[in-house]
Structure 1
């Protein structure tokens, strides 16, 4: 029988938050063990680091230029012909998603046989005056009815007083741990193991909303970090040193100087949510052993994007810095089905679009021509293979709209609305503290990166480039209109 496929995705987890990468605080024992049974890809990036565009790349295998989502915009229909679950269905798989999808309409199956959904708090679904009955939150969330059956009919996602995008305010989960959304994803996933079709291999997408805010870990996990010696966020010499408008006092800020005690508690809660997820992943791995499927399952763990968490006085995502754009990425094979070089670290530059072709390759399924990503199996096996030498990323972000290119050694950033540029030597400055744009020793590299980005953006409908030079101030879009792989 073909191998089972388990895709574990989390939301807003930084690529450095693994204890196997010697993070100074975070403890992730189960993810560390997954890495020992597979390969850790250390230079994994999210080309468009926010939820919707990143998850589009995850499910379609397309680059942002192909799937068209180059910023964050709700209520744009998902009408892609080929998705990871739809291709696996054609290959004979029983497919199931538990947790976050963040598609539109919310009940769009995107090729899955079934979806048990919790996207978290989405504003466009909760604002009742803007929705029809069929689009309202009550019709597109499965966690909240489950919670109300167990904890009371008046329970809601707002009970803790935390906003779903608040990156600086934290408090412990107020109900028993078993009722937390993280536990719910695993509880429902274990139930899928019970009721799946045993005649077919399965594809399970186990998709967590955390460590995305609200920062609400169970008390036991917050206790692990609240008194820990947590390092201060890294602040580049180029970062804004002042916050005259006091943006840092806004609980849903994207930049600013946050009161120190509030920031340290947010850091502690963020790390606590990661360890909570890790323990629940351990719970699911034990259940897989009980059901006799662990040794016949390929497991891929990743996040859709990161969290700046105060780096350079910045928060949340969408920006091209390592805390936002770099993600954890583990490909594990407990049963040694794929003959990978286990317990190794790979430094090739990869992107979320590589998930679909990798898992289809593992399943022995055909990879559609629409897929831009590459299978990681040759790299995981240590084979000599011609690989991409860099990736291009971008995100619409008003005056901070940006493009970046990186080969894992250097990173070039261009802010399209202002023309501001940054160049970092990641091999010497992995935390991006020093902008080398004026350093004459990097003049040749800078010109090369400018040329490569200009070529990458040639013929884009925004008019960013003529293929040779970059044009500042062209209107940045959230969704491209001229797309060959979509019907609208």
Structure 2
């Protein structure tokens, strides 16, 4: 039977580094289920996110648009009502788009109010959920953060006997110390201890089961399910048996140099001064965190194995495209940083595995692709897989399917771009930077990485001679040419029109360029009636087929006495 894409499984982890999967080279953290998926599909070794922080990165995945296109520049900055997302593009094709897990979306309630949209309506719910129909929304960090005012997972835990106002925190993300005291997993000190909740009731297995529940109920309608795990994002705490699987010596060596702390770029220096960066720079902190972080990843891989076997038993692997990725990585102490505030490789390079059941992808199965790809490419890939027409006037990305089919378009991108709005960070306050100027933009051509920092000198790294990005060449005179070249490339990228989304480029390009005459009879630039009559011989109204009044209007202007003639 010919395999074609009917369904899409879009798996995203939160804060998962690409180098923490065995198919991406981790020597001790084995992820056999993702390795098996890679053997059936393609590993993209140079996939980059559009922002190093959750919210804007995810909005770029969901819209296929760069951060400065969709405008949701940081966590809790709403994606504006009216911005089209994966669900909006696929729904007209008969594809049901559902959410199981996290989006980090904050609803644009003001925008919906202005447009008269009820947030509780179907349309309002879709706007609030990035265009997905929420089957199971779980952003974690609930219930006090505003993410989930009525979290199902907390209700589930209570039904299992794990009581409390917030069992997510008290059980799933807390531990018990040697004296029997409950300790919060928010504290990095306890990351190497086991979570109180048993494995089967922890977040990752719960969300995996909810994904299987949806599949079992889905029926025959094609679907796109966004399975979005909230781990291995902090709190870095995992239940047994995963809590004891890894030791600090199983972790990758920390990547940082003392030279980075000597006269750093002002923005980088201020970010190294964030509390999380100072904490991760302390002796022993990383050793405490890494066992939990690695255990969470191993748990995800095991749960994906359960899901893939569930799908295999139902014959769904033959008709379901599977995309596995993350919204960004995690410094984990590299470069004297914690979290994800800048553009070093551990943070902006995402793991990306794509399995396409289409027989045209057989030639690339088990291969690796080194093309520069971006998060914005995922949405157009889904549109392509579901038989939709490309919408380059709306989406900034491009379908990956030519690469999956073994083709290498000659016009494929030469750079990737990443953006960061640090207006909400302590570093902006320390530097005294106006919020409107607190923007960082990066462009990377596969070797040279250039960072434009408003109000400051640029940063520049040569990953060929300096793969760990220890040496900032942003002020080096001998590299002025590279800085100018990449600055111009970034400027060229920035000045592309990205807001003309209501009419396709193709529709514009197929219109005849006409003499200045409108359907309503407005004349611009004509000398007299004869001039207009001559022009009309060559006139093909752009919208004449929809307006039967055009020809009589022109006849009246040329022959005011009422006579009409075919020209």
Residues 81 and 248 (structure 1), Cα distance of their counterparts in 2 relative to 1, 3 Å cut: closer
Contact 2:417/2:442, CA 8 A, preserved across alignment: yes
**Would you say how many aligned residue pairs link Structure 1 and Structure 2?**
449
Does residue 144 of the first structure (1) align with residue 165 of the second (2)? no
Aligned counterpart for 1:63 among listed residues 63, 66, 70: 66
Distance 2:239 2:141 in 1: 19
Distance 2:58 2:147 in 1: 22
Does residue 414 of the first structure (1) align with residue 424 of the second (2)? no
Residues 152 and 273 (structure 1), Cα distance of their counterparts in 2 relative to 1, 3 Å cut: closer
Partner of 2:168: 157
Instruction: Pick which of 76-85 and 403-412 moved more.
Output: 76-85
Distance 1:136 1:18 in 2: 29
For residues 187-243 of structure 1, the C-alpha deviation after alignment (integer angstroms, 9 at most, x for no partner) is 10111121112x222211110000110101222223221253434311145422699
| Secondary structure, counterpart of 1:207 in structure 2 | strand
Partner of 1:93: 95
Partner of 1:130: none
Aligned counterpart for 2:396 among listed residues 360, 368, 372: 372
| Secondary structure, counterpart of 2:397 in structure 1 | coil
Relative to its length, the structure with more helix (as a share) is 2
Partner of 1:467: none
Superposition map of 1:24-63 within 5 A = 24-63=27-66
| Secondary structure, counterpart of 1:194 in structure 2 | helix
Contact 1:193/1:291, CA 8 A, preserved across alignment: no
Larger radius of gyration: 2
Superposition map of 1:100-119 within 5 A = 100-105=102-107, 108-119=128-139
For residues 255-292 of structure 1, the C-alpha deviation after alignment (integer angstroms, 9 at most, x for no partner) is 45543322112122112111111111111001101222
| Secondary structure, counterpart of 2:98 in structure 1 | strand
TM, length-normalised to structure 1: 0.84
Listed as ranges, the gaps of 5+ residues in structure 2 are 109-124, 175-182, 423-427, 432-437, 503-567
Does residue 183 of the first structure (1) align with residue 201 of the second (2)? no
Aligned counterpart for 2:232 among listed residues 205, 208, 211: 211
How far the C-alpha of 1:335 sits from its partner, in A, is 6.6
Residues 167 and 25 (structure 1), Cα distance of their counterparts in 2 relative to 1, 3 Å cut: farther
Distance 2:442 2:278 in 1: 20
More RCO (CA 8 Å, sep 6+): 1
Distance 1:50 1:415 in 2: 17
Two-structure CA RMSD over aligned residues (Å) = 3.0
Residues 442 and 253 (structure 1), Cα distance of their counterparts in 2 relative to 1, 3 Å cut: same
Distance 1:305 1:217 in 2: 20
Listed as ranges, the gaps of 5+ residues in structure 1 are 128-134, 461-481
Does residue 172 of the first structure (1) align with residue 194 of the second (2)? yes
Distance 2:53 2:105 in 1: 13
Contact 1:249/1:257, CA 8 A, preserved across alignment: no
Does residue 320 of the first structure (1) align with residue 343 of the second (2)? yes
Does residue 355 of the first structure (1) align with residue 378 of the second (2)? yes
TM, length-normalised to structure 2: 0.73
| Secondary structure, counterpart of 2:332 in structure 1 | coil
Aligned counterpart for 1:267 among listed residues 290, 293, 300: 290
Does residue 276 of the first structure (1) align with residue 279 of the second (2)? no
How far the C-alpha of 1:105 sits from its partner, in A, is 2.7
Contact 1:89/1:95, CA 8 A, preserved across alignment: yes
How far the C-alpha of 1:455 sits from its partner, in A, is 4.0
Contact 2:34/2:301, CA 8 A, preserved across alignment: yes
For residues 140-175 of structure 1, the C-alpha deviation after alignment (integer angstroms, 9 at most, x for no partner) is x222112221133315232215466x6675132211
How far the C-alpha of 1:43 sits from its partner, in A, is 0.8
